[in-house]
Amino acid sequence: MVSDASGAGLTSGRARDRLVRILEQQGIRDPRVLEAIRSVPRHLFVEEALSHRAYENIALPIGHRQTISQPFIVARMTEALLEGGPVSTVLEIGTGSGYQAAVLAQIVDRVYSIERIQALTRSARELLSRLGINNVNLRHGDGAEGWPEKTPYDGIILTAAPREVPETLLTQLAPGGRLVAPVEGPDGRQQLVRYTRTEEAFVRDVLDAVMFVPMLPGAEQ
C-alpha cells in the first residue's frame, strides 16, 4: 500500500484510471500490474514542472540525462517478469526515479535495485521512504555485478540496455526464474528479451521493440 497517494487535478484518481484504461486497451491484462500502476503516484517520480503530464503514456525526464519509462513499458516488463511462475524477490538494474521499483513493490515481497548515479539512488530512497514503501532496498553501484548477497532472484529486470546481458546477472537467477531486459543489437535497435532459467539452460524469447538508455559501465558519484 502506498501512502500520500492523493492528488488534485491532473494528478488525481481520474487521470490514473484513464491511464489504466489505456494500458488495458494496449493489451496489459494482469490485474496486479494494473492495480499497481493505479496505486503508485507517478507524478511524484518526475520533475515537478512535468507532474501534470505524469499520467500520460509517455517517458519523461528525471534529471541526469535519464528518463522514467513509458507506463506501458513498465507494465509490459512487469507482466513479462510475472508470467510463468511465482515471484517473491526481484532485482532491478537501473533504479532511476524508483518508479519501476515502487510498482514491483506492490506485487512482490522484496525488491533490490541498483543505480550507478548516486544522486538518483539518494532521491529514490527518500521518495520511497516518504511513500511508506519499505520492501525496496537500494544500492549505488554497477548493476553488471548484480547483488550477490541476496541471490537467487525469482526475477531480474534491466531498465537500461546492454549490448549483451551480463553473464553474472543470469547466474543470479533462481531455477525457473526470469530475466527481462532491453538488449541493443548491432544496428542500434533494441528488443525486449526474456531469459527463463530451466534446470540445464536458459531459454531466450524476444518480446517487443523498445527504446531505453544504454547500460553504462561502472558507477558515478
Residue 8: CB minimum distance to ligand SAH, A: 23
What type of residue sits at position 35?
Answer: E
Question: Which is catalytic among the residues 3, 12, 69, 97?
Answer: 69
Q: How far is the CB of 82 from ligand SAH (least distance, A)?
A: 17
**Sign of the CA dihedral running 60, 63, 135, 13:** negative
Rounded distance, CA 192 to CA 165, Å?
Answer: 11
3-state SS assignment for residue 170: helix
Closer to ligand SAH at the Cβ: 126 or 175?
A: 126
Minimum distance, C-beta of residue 155 to ligand SAH, in the bound complex (Å): 14
> What is the distance in angstroms between the CA of the first residue and the CA of the last residue of the chain?
32
Look up residue 122 and give its DSSP letter: H
CB of 200 to ligand SAH, least distance (A): 29
Establish how many alpha carbons lie within 13 A of residue 46's alpha carbon, considering only the half-sphere containing its beta carbon.
22
- In the numeric block, the cell 515481497 is attached to 109
Q: Give the integer Cα–Cα distance in Å for 37 and 162.
A: 26
In whole angstroms, how close is the CB of 74 to ligand SAH at the nearest point?
7
Cβ contact 220:117 at 8 Å: yes
Active site residue 69: yes
Q: Which is nearer to ligand SAH, 20 or 160 (CB)?
A: 160
Which of residues 11 and 100 has its CB atom nearest to ligand SAH in the complex? Answer: 100
* Strand 202-210, strand 190-197: pairing: antiparallel
> Which is nearer to ligand SAH, 8 or 49 (by Cβ)?
49
Which cell goes with 48?
A: 515537478
Q: Which residues bind ligand SAH (CB under 6 A)?
A: 62, 66-69, 93-94, 96-97, 99-100, 114-117, 120, 142-144, 159-160, 213, 215-216
According to DSSP, the residues that pair with 205 across neighbouring strands are 194
Q: Which is nearer to ligand SAH, 68 or 105 (CB)?
A: 68
Which residues participate in catalysis according to the annotation? 69
